[in-house]
Structure 1
Amino acid sequence: MNRLKQSIVYHYMFVSAVLVMSSVYVWGTYKWIIPWSFDHMFDRAIFNELFLGGIAWITQIILFTSCAYWFYQKVSKDIEEEKNHRLKEQNQLFANIAHDLKNPMTTVVGLSRALEEDIIAEEKRKSTVHIITEKAQHMDKIINLMFQYAKMDTNSYKLHKSEIDVVRLLKEFAAQRYHEFEEKEMELDIQVPDSPVIFCLNRLEMARVINNLITNAIRHNEKGTRVQIGLTTDAGHLKVWISDSGQSIPKNMQQTIFEPFICGDESRNTKGGSGLGLAITKKIVEKHGGEIWIDEQVSGYTKAFVLTLRNST
């Protein structure tokens, strides 16, 4: 939608500039060139006021009509392209949702039927029920995340900000997830200031951002990967990054990785991912007026997810 708005504004500015320049040219021509050419053929006062003035107005009307028609055609084309783009994204989103719900649902239905028909041996029933519970919880997680993702685009969604210590927030989540780093034998490095960094943010949503990025670093990297969590501030701007020494992200995926369900079927099916974590993260950061991107120019690391925010009330 932002692309469509920008296109309309640019086209409007172009049409306005054309009309202004044409108006200056037409009336300049009317005032100097045309009267000079007909000085000896007509009474100058009457001719200028009636005939040449009429030509100038007609010329302007033609120019305005032509520009208006061109503007209409360009905007209509941009709207149609944006509509098709949105429809394609929506269809892809629905297809991915169906795909991600179908796999666990198939398992749940199949195992439930097997239990109902007494096909599963008694000693395996408990583990079977556990698998059903896990799959059901995974489906519930996807549905809740989809609800959260959709809610952020509604007018009713409001961020309630308060002053929080971002350094403390980062340390809290690093401590909470430390056992997961240890399980994967990851080396964790925390680079944050010793003193508190107070910013006006929504604590719940920003905690979700940090948690999603840490989850991404743990889930999508191999054992022994080095991970760094860092923070700096400068003139009211906050920069937070989570770097790792794992595999690089392909260039083509970097352009779409913050869109829903872009982490790939393998990651969603075998690593427990929902495909919505980074999409939700990006929306939360943008709701705070910030930006998030992938930086591959980080010393000692292959990539970093970097977010920047400006302090506001």
Structure 2
Amino acid sequence: MKQLKKDISKAFIIYAFILSIIESMIDSVFDDFLFPHYEQNDRIGQILFVAYIVISILVFILVAYLFTKAISKRIRAEMHRQIEERNVVFANITHDLKTPITSILGFSRALTEKKLEPEKQSQLVEIIYEKSKRTSELINTMFHYSKLETEMYELRREPMDICRLTREILASQYEIIEEHGILLEVDIPEEEILYPIDKIEYSRAIANLLMNACVHNQLGSTLLVRIEREMNKKVEKLLIVVADNGVPIPDKLKDTLFDAFACGDESRSSKGGSGMGLAISKSIVKKHGGNLKLVEEYQSYIKAFVIEFDI
């Protein structure tokens, strides 16, 4: 939506500039050639003045029509894109919810028939609980993503030491990283780097990147978390890097990597992912005025997810 607003503003400036040029040319023709030539003839002068007004109005109407037509086309394209995107999300929501709900219904029916042994009943109750928990987590994830995508949702930002907070996040996620057999390397400066962030949302974004590295890389992969400053075109940037030497991103996923459900059905079912981690991280970083991008072959690593903030 923000891009659409920018496009409309840009189109308005362009068409206003075109209109001013045409009006200037019309003024020049009438003022320099026609009005001086017939200034002694009042009747022709009046006709020329009326013609000048009519032509100016017609030009304005024409430019306004072309502007409206161009904007309408852009709005329709944006609406079509949003509808298509929403349809994909709804289709994936249906897919991801259907599997656990079907299992819950089937196991619940088996329990109500009371034909199972107590031990088997306990197993089914445990399965139902896990499936229900998974469904609840998925719904909460989808709700949070939808909330992030709305312009009304505002972050609770305050200046915080990004280095210290990131180290705290790593400490809270270290057990999970270790369970996945991932080797963690940390390159975070001891100096204080203040940046206005929403602590909860930033923590969620980093945790998603860490979990993505754990789930999608093989045992024994190395994960690097680095924070550094960089000068880029006279603008100082704060970079938070999450790099690994694991599995490369498939070419077919690169263009849609940060879209919701981008990881595909296989990843969501076999690896337990929702396919929304990177999409949520992207939205959180964007809400902070930053950018999250994929960098391939980052130094000695296969790939890196890099968060950029202007400071």
Pairwise same-fold verdict (TM > 0.5): yes
Change (3 A) 1:58 1:214: same
Matched, 1:142 2:142: no
2:12 matched residue in structure 1: 12
Shift of 1:208: 0.8
2-structure distance, mates of 1:96, 1:117: 32
Matched to 1:71, the amino acid is F
Q: Distance in 1 between matches of 2:170 and 2:112?
A: 44
Partners of 1:230 and 1:241 within 8 A in 2: yes
1:72-221 matched pairs, under 5 angstroms: 72-154=68-150, 157-221=153-217
Q: Which residue of 1 aligns with 2:64?
A: 68
CA distance in structure 2 between the partners assigned to 1:43 and 1:236 by the alignment = 63
More deviation in 95-104 or 227-236?
227-236
SS in 2 for 1:293: strand
Unaligned runs of 5+ in 2: none
What's the counterpart of residue 230 of structure 1? 226
Cα distance in 1 for partners of 2:194, 2:268 equals 36
Per the TM alignment, residue 48 of structure 1 is displaced from its structure 2 partner at its CA by 7.1
SS in 2 for 1:177: helix
Per-residue CA distance 1:164-210 (angstroms, 9 max, x = gap): 22222222232333333333332221111022322221111111111
Which range moved further: 112-121 or 213-222?
A: 112-121
Q: What are structure 1's unaligned runs of at least 5 residues? A: none
Separation of aligned partners in 1, 2:71 and 2:172: 51
- Report if the CA contact (8 A) 1:164-1:200 is conserved: yes
Identity %: 34
Contact 2:228 2:238 in 1 (8 A): yes
Q: State how far apart, in whole Å, the 2-side matches of 1:283 and 1:183 are.
A: 28
Q: Are the structure 2 counterparts of residues 53 and 225 from structure 1 closer, same or farther at C-alpha, using a change threshold of 3 Å?
A: same
For 1:37-81, what per-residue CA distance to the aligned partner results, in whole angstroms no more than 9, with x for missing partners? xx4xx5546367423232222221121111111112122222222
The reply on whether 1:280 has 2:280 as its aligned counterpart is yes
SS in 2 for 1:130: helix
Who is 2:262 aligned against?
262
SS in 1 for 2:186: strand
Any conservation in 1 of the 2:39–2:45 contact (CA below 8 Å)? no
Deviation (angstroms), 1:276: 2.0
Secondary structure of 1:246's counterpart equals coil
**Separation (CA, whole Å) in 1 of partners of 2:274 and 2:95:** 11
Partner letter of residue 69 of structure 1? Y
Match of 1:26 in 2: 26
Equivalent residue of 1:240, what SS? strand
The verdict on how the C-alpha distance between 1:116 and 1:18 changes in structure 2, with shifts beyond 3 A counting, is same
Give 1:30's aligned amino acid.
F
* Paired residues of 1:296 and 1:303 also in contact (CA < 8 A): yes
Work out the CA distance in 1 between the residues paired with 2:229 and 2:39.
Answer: 75
Deviation at 1:141, TM superposition (A): 0.4
Task: Give the SS at the match of 2:156.
Answer: coil
Equivalenced residues, count: 307
Aligned pair in 2 of structure 1 residues 56, 275: CA closer, same or farther (>3 Å)?
same
Which 10-residue stretch deviates more, 186-195 or 153-162?
Answer: 153-162
Q: What SS does the aligned partner of 2:127 have? A: helix
RMSD: 2.2
Question: Could you tell me how far apart the structure 1 residues matched to 2:51 and 2:57 are?
Answer: 10
Please, which moves more after superposition, 106-115 or 123-132? Answer: 123-132
Kept in 2, the 8 Å contact 1:35–1:44? The answer is no
Contact 1:241–1:307 (CA under 8 A) maintained in structure 2: yes
> Scaled by the length of structure 2, what TM-score is found?
0.90
Question: Which amino acid letter does the alignment assign opposite residue 22 of structure 1?
Answer: I
